[in-house]
Amino acid sequence: MLEELKECKLCPHMCKINRLEGRVGRCKATDKLKISLVSLHHFEEPCISGTNGSGTIFFSNCNFNCVFCQNYKISQEGMGQEVDIDFLAKSMIEQQEKGAHNINLVTPVMYVYHIIEAIKLAKTKGLKIPIIYNSNGYENIETLRLLEGYIDVYLPDFKYANNELGRKYSNINNYFEVTSKAITEMYKQVGPPQLDENGIIKRGLIIRHLILPNEIENSKNVLKWIVDNIGKEVYVSIMAQYFPTYKAKKIKELNRKINNEEYKQIEDYIYEIGIENGYMQDLGDHEEEYVPDFKNSLT
């Protein structure tokens, strides 16, 4: 399967470069699997983190260039270590042994072939907990179909309701049409969330949306699209943890946190359009605490 990296078409950028020769495309990933952190994470949605935490594996590099990326050390600067498929499979098993409710693969698209092989290997060694595909949402339908049967929970971001904001803040020209189709495919594969007796997700789709300052209409349009096109059974996770970091510190309209008025507008809107399932993050003063310490070792 890794031979397909000789003409990489994993994500919608369709770079078609030969990663087996060490060449890199938009995401800057070579053919080597690269991970920045493996840890039990307690700051995900309640149905993901539960009481024991989510066995989270942060992959290095990204096919986006978001100016406000909170994980820019790994996504844009490539912090991490090269590992092999055996290490990834072993990490999954170790997280399960530590009591993790699930395996949470963060920004995984560049390494889908590696991940599939690791999941196969881990299952032969006793991996039983659900696998979460924690994605920016900018995915190829063909790649998602490769993952069908391996992924139990899709956890995509849905950042923008139009291409203009995608170009402006993430350097993506066709954001909306690609991401909306990808999320539709994810829902087709796994359906609405199914929870166990302890309220932990076993299978299904949760769509995340980060509220940006000065972009409340964008948030409303994203939420309305979800209701109109996916439905009210899906879980929506509305995040209020935005804080100016990375390049956003120098962009006037992004150089502040969201305020109480913006938060209240979105809170009112979710009731107005009938969103019934999901989460809305509290507005607080500790947003930076949600960012993991990537200076720690892999484990």
For the stretch 42-96, pLDDT in tens is 999 999 999 999 999 999 999 999 999 999 999 999 999 999 999 999 999 999 9
Residue 162 covered by a domain: yes
Residue 298 covered by a domain: no
Q: How far apart are CA 236 and CA 138, in angstroms?
A: 17
Give the total number of structural domains in the chain.
1
Q: What's 51's DSSP letter? A: T
Q: How far apart are CA 264 and CA 13, in angstroms?
A: 36
Does the pTM exceed 0.75? Answer: yes
Residue 284 pLDDT level (bands cut at 50, 70, 90): confident
Residue 34 covered by a domain: yes
Q: How far apart are CA 185 and CA 171, in angstroms?
A: 23
Residue 295 covered by a domain: no
The yes-or-no verdict on residue 285 having pLDDT over 70 is: no
Angstrom CA distances, 16 to 13, 178, 191, 233, 259, stand at 9, 18, 32, 37, 43
Q: How far apart are CA 165 and CA 253, in angstroms?
A: 12
Sign for the CA dihedral angle at 123, 126, 128, 133 comes to negative
Residue 83 covered by a domain: yes
Residue 150 covered by a domain: yes
Residue 296 covered by a domain: no
Residue 297 covered by a domain: no
The yes-or-no verdict on residue 288 having pLDDT over 70 is: no
Instruction: Quote the pLDDT of residue 295.
Output: 60
The yes-or-no verdict on residue 32 having pLDDT over 70 is: yes
pLDDT, tens digit, for every residue of 144-190?
Answer: 999 999 999 999 999 999 999 999 999 999 999 999 999 999 999 99
Instruction: Quote the pLDDT of residue 143.
Output: 99
Instruction: Quote the pLDDT of residue 1.
Output: 84
| Range of the structural domain that residue 39 is part of | 2-290
Residue 115 pLDDT level (bands cut at 50, 70, 90): very high
For the ranges 12-26, 112-126, 210-224, 283-297, which has the lowest average pLDDT?
Answer: 283-297
The yes-or-no verdict on residue 252 having pLDDT over 90 is: yes
Question: What integer best gives the mean pLDDT of the chain?
Answer: 96
pLDDT, tens digit, for every residue of 119-134?
Answer: 999 999 999 999 999 9
Q: Note the helical H segments in the chain.
A: 46-49, 72-75, 85-97, 112-124, 141-147, 163-170, 175-190, 216-229, 260-272
Residue 291 pLDDT level (bands cut at 50, 70, 90): low
Instruction: Quote the pLDDT of residue 24.
Output: 95
The yes-or-no verdict on residue 235 having pLDDT over 80 is: yes
The yes-or-no verdict on residue 137 having pLDDT over 90 is: yes
Assess contact for 238 and 246: CB atoms under 8 A: no
The yes-or-no verdict on residue 286 having pLDDT over 70 is: no
Q: How far apart are CA 66 and CA 142, in angstroms?
A: 24
CATH of the domain at 143: 3.20.20.70
